[in-house]
Every structure is written in structure tokens, then in C-alpha cells.
Amino acid sequence: MNKDRKTVFSGVQPSGNLTIGNYLGAIKNFSRFSEEYKTFYCVVDMHAITVRQVPAELRRRTYETLALYMACGLDEKKNTLFVQSHVPEHAELGWVLNCYTMFGELSRMTQFKDKSAKHAQNINAGLFTYPTLMAADILLYQTDLVPVGIDQKQHLELARDIAMRFNQVYSETFTVPEGYIPTDTMKIMSLAEPTAKMSKSDTNQNAVVYILDSKDDIMRKFKKAVTDSDAEVRYSEDKPGVSNLMTIYRAFTNKTFDEIEREFSGKGYGDFKAAVGEACADGLAPVRDEFARLIADKAHLESVMKAGADEAHYYAMKTMSKVKRKIGFVN
């Protein structure tokens, strides 16, 4: 790979409808990298099966996630868009890196603890070693920069540790990646419980705004959003509900918090929530329209998958052949 041009990698699981948190915190930012970087954006279907999936739904969501990538502005001619399971080197490097990842490191992963509590009947080995597969995803492409949500920061740090450990043992093999966490839309919180992150797996549908929600659904959810009793639109740690709505409004309007506070000075929360809902629905409308067009053309999505997998495989194979040589596998 020509390292004059740095590499970006990121992936999204096809395990449920994507939320405005996924959009504002990650996917919306992806397209800005494609002019300056070599970009790999992956639908990480192998990660999704750490939790039991309905096969037909997983297949449908894989197509939908790819279509959403494209609807959110990722041009398949400027970005390598592919499905993780179509590039076998992800699993191959994942196994190798398992042998350079310490049990204690994986035991400390907070997401493993959280998911184990949620899925107590299915605490499988994949759930435990998920961060090592994520490291393989990143390191395969000699990635320089990983746009990542703050909840994945711990996993990225582990990927860096694994890369440095491997490089120390076998000489320079992997690029040690840096994280990119946008500071302005770092974390979108639940509308019902604003101290918790908005999650696509939330059972309370009013807590989550999905990218593909209708305008009516978006308006209804924002009207029900939890705020507080003092009726003042002000960004503050002691006002998590209002602050979350202000973050969302800022993301869709590019207004500063000071501008938002002035705009709604003396107005009630009803006006504020309606304005946030309108801004969100209007901002997502072009994405929903483009998604509807793309998802109707399955053959085109499959051609994008194939072209992306072929290109990703080319780069992944180069890294894998280097790794195999260094650890002593016979070519």
C-alpha cells in the first residue's frame, strides 16, 4: 500500500436499525476522509454473531447497512465498501492475534462485562475475543486512523497494544493506529434516559431515533424526550436531557450552544423539542430517500460488495503474507 496516503478503517455491525447516534457519531463523518485518505468501510457481520441472530434478518440487515453507508454519502468509487465475512483474512489474522493477546487484557474489557450481563445464557468465546477480531480488522489494512465511538476506545487501545507487541517480537509489521473521536458529537444519549447512550438494541422505542424513521415518528419521539422541570434551554452537566437535545440540534443545524440558548430564550421546551425534531427529520430526509432507491437495487449492492471485497482482499493478503512469513508459517 502506498503510505504517502494514510489509511482509514471503520466498521458497523448489521445487528439492528442504525440510530442517529451511529449517524452523527460515526457514519456522517466517514465521507470527509475519502478525499485525503485510502478508506475501508466494512459491514462487520462476523462481529454480529457473538449474539444470536435470525439468519434471514442478518442477511437483510447486511444489505441495509451497506445501502445506508452509501445513502449517508459514501461513494463506492472513492471508498472501499465491503462485508467482513467476504474477506477471509479477517478471521485468519484474528486467530493469529488471539495468540498475542493476553487473557487478562480481554477480561478487563467493559463491553464484554456489559454484554455478558445482557446475554447471560450465551457468554461465548467469540464475545470474549471480539476485541482481538476488531484489532485484526484494523491492522489488516495498515490503518493509520480509526473513526471510533468513545465506547470502542478501550478496544482501539488494545489493538494498539497488540500491534506494538507483535512489532516488538517480529520487527515492524503493523502500523499502530490512532483513534479519531469527533469532539462535537462524541456521544448521543437516549431520549428516555439521557444519562445512558442511545442504543439500537434499546427495548424502549421512544428512547431511540433511527436513521430510517418517518418524520412523524421522529417528531413524536422528540416530543416525548425527557428534559427537566426548570424550562430553560441551557447546556449544562446538571441538565442531561436538555444538553443531549442541544447536541443533536447543533449537529443538524451547525449552530453553537450559545446561539441555541439565545434562540430559545424565554420559550418553553415544547417549542424547543419541536425544532429539534424538525431539524433532525429534515436532515435525515435525503438519506432516507437515497436509501429507498439503493435498497431496491439488490444487484447493484451485490456488485459493490464484490468489488469492495476484491480490493480489500488484495490489501489484506499483503499484510497476511507478511505476518505468516514472520511467525514461521510455510508459504
d(CA 285, CA 278) in angstroms, rounded, equals: 10
Contact between 211 and 18 under an 8 Å Cβ cutoff? The reply is: yes
The predicted structure's pLDDT at residue 153: 83
Residue closest to 197 by CA, chosen among 151, 130, 246: 151
Which residues face 42 on adjacent strands? 11, 82
Looking at the annotation, which residues are catalytic? 115, 197, 200
**Per-10-residue mean pLDDT, the chain, length 331:** 80 87 84 91 95 93 95 95 98 97 88 74 86 96 88 88 97 95 73 91 91 96 93 92 95 94 93 97 96 97 98 98 97 84
Domain borders along the chain are 7-180+298-327, 205-291
CATH number of 7-180+298-327: 3.40.50.620
- Choosing among 3.20.20.70, 1.10.1760.20, 1.10.240.10, 3.40.50.150, the CATH entry for 205-291 is 1.10.240.10
The predicted structure's pLDDT at residue 170: 97
| Rg of the chain in Å (alpha carbons) | 21
The predicted structure's pLDDT at residue 184: 55
The predicted structure's pLDDT at residue 216: 97
d(CA 126, CA 46) in angstroms, rounded, equals: 10
Residue closest to 232 by CA, chosen among 191, 271, 196, 280: 271
Q: Decide whether 7-180+298-327 matches 205-291 in CATH topology.
A: no
Which residues face 159 on adjacent strands? none
The predicted structure's pLDDT at residue 45: 97
Tell me the pTM.
Answer: 0.89
Kindly tell me the burial class for residue 80, based on how many C-beta atoms sit within 10 Å of its own C-beta (0-12, 13-18, 19 or more): buried
3-state secondary structure 19-79: EHHHHHHHHHHHHHHCCCCEEEEEECHHHHCCCCCCHHHHHHHHHHHHHHHHHCCCCCCCC
d(CA 67, CA 298) in angstroms, rounded, equals: 9
Beta-carbon contacts of 253 under 8 Å, excluding residues fewer than 6 positions away, are 279
